């Protein structure tokens, strides 16, 4: 556990060094977050207007629910992958010694919009199929789909940077992501460590400090409590954006390492063990 936490903070430090040079990379997860909230709202509102009962068939979702779910996944994934592509593209410019701007990232993503939409359609299809199996096959189905979902997440981890750097379609990008994993980290891999441990610890620590302050200053009334609650929420929102930006940088660095062997700002041992063979 101590080793994983240490490596996690090392990844945060290395990614943060890149982010320090290009603070505007934080804008991409901010735009992505705003867009995904708007997309979610645009789907939720019509459901309540037409009545949620049409999306239920006994104890299971109806086929109308699956159709709407697929459309929701497609739009959300398109938004998420677009801004991820912009972030990764800008990060790759920095890792290659350039000085990227927000416009550079958006231009890179816009140029590959067709491939991004195709990849979003693939991801939405996989997500809906796994969800259908999990909801119809009971406990065993949930276990199986969970394992398949994990394998899908790992093997497609580098699809976005591939789409950003190569003029190929989404299917070929997914295949290449799988091939890179097999070549670099082995045929069957598990996530060894990432930045999740460090970011989670920071979020817990921030929330804990705010809660202690709320307890101590509660007698001051709402004029003290409300600003503290707002500060706690804003702090966690910032951490979420910070973590998303760092993850995009790390993804770009992992891809660059897998293709060129150059670790850049990152420790070579950590990059080599980002994914390790299953025992």
- Domain map of the chain by residue range? 2-277
Q: Which residues of 259-275 are buried (b: 16+ CB within 10 A; e: fewer)?
A: eeeebbebeeebbeebb
pLDDT at 51: 63
Give me 114's structure tokens.
Answer: 């067709």
Q: pLDDT (tens digit, 9 = 90+) per residue, 243-261?
A: 999 989 989 998 998 888 8
Tens digit of pLDDT for each residue in 71-100? 999 999 999 999 999 999 999 999 998 999
Say how far apart CA 171 and CA 232 lie, in whole Å: 42
Residues 6+ positions from 217 with CB-CB distance below 8 Å: 224, 225, 228
Strands 275-277, 189-191: parallel, antiparallel or unpaired by DSSP? antiparallel
Q: pTM for the complete prediction?
A: 0.84
Residue predicted with more confidence, 192 or 61: 61
Q: What is the pLDDT of residue 190?
A: 44
pLDDT tops 70 at residue 276? no
Q: What percent of the chain has pLDDT over 90?
A: 40
Please report the pLDDT score of residue 215 as a whole number.
82
Return the higher-pLDDT residue of 136 and 164. Answer: 164
Range 142-148 average pLDDT: 82
Q: What was the pLDDT predicted at 189?
A: 46
């Amino acid at each position: 556990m101590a080793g994983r936490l240490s490596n996690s903070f090392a990844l945060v430090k290395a990614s943060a060094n890149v982010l320090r040079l290009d603070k505007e990379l934080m804008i991409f997860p901010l735009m992505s977050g705003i867009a995904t909230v708007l997309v979610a709202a645009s789907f939720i509102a019509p459901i309540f207007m037409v009545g949620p009962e049409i999306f239920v068939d006994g104890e299971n979702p109806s086929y109308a629910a699956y159709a709407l779910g697929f459309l929701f996944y497609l739009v959300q994934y398109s938004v998420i992958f677009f801004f991820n592509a912009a972030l990764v593209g800008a990060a790759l410019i920095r890792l290659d010694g350039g000085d990227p701007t927000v416009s550079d990232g958006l231009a890179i993503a816009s140029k590959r919009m067709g491939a991004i939409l195709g990849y979003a359609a693939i991801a939405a299809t996989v997500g809906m199929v796994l969800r259908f199996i999990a909801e119809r096959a009971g406990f065993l189905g949930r276990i199986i789909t969970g394992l398949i979902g994990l394998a899908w997440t790992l093997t497609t981890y580098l699809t976005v940077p591939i789409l950003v750097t190569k003029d190929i379609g989404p299917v070929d990008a997914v295949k290449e992501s799988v091939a890179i994993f097999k070549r670099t980290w082995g045929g069957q891999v598990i996530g060894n460590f990432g930045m999740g441990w460090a970011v989670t610890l920071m979020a817990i620590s921030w929330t804990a400090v705010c809660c202690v302050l709320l307890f101590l200053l509660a007698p001051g009334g709402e004029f003290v409590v409300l600003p503290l609650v707002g500060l706690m929420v804003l702090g966690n929102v910032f951490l979420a954006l910070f973590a998303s930006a760092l993850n995009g940088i790390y993804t770009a660095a992992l891809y660059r390492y897998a293709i060129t062997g150059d670790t850049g700002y990152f420790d070579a041992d950590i990059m080599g063990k980002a994914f390790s063979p299953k025992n």
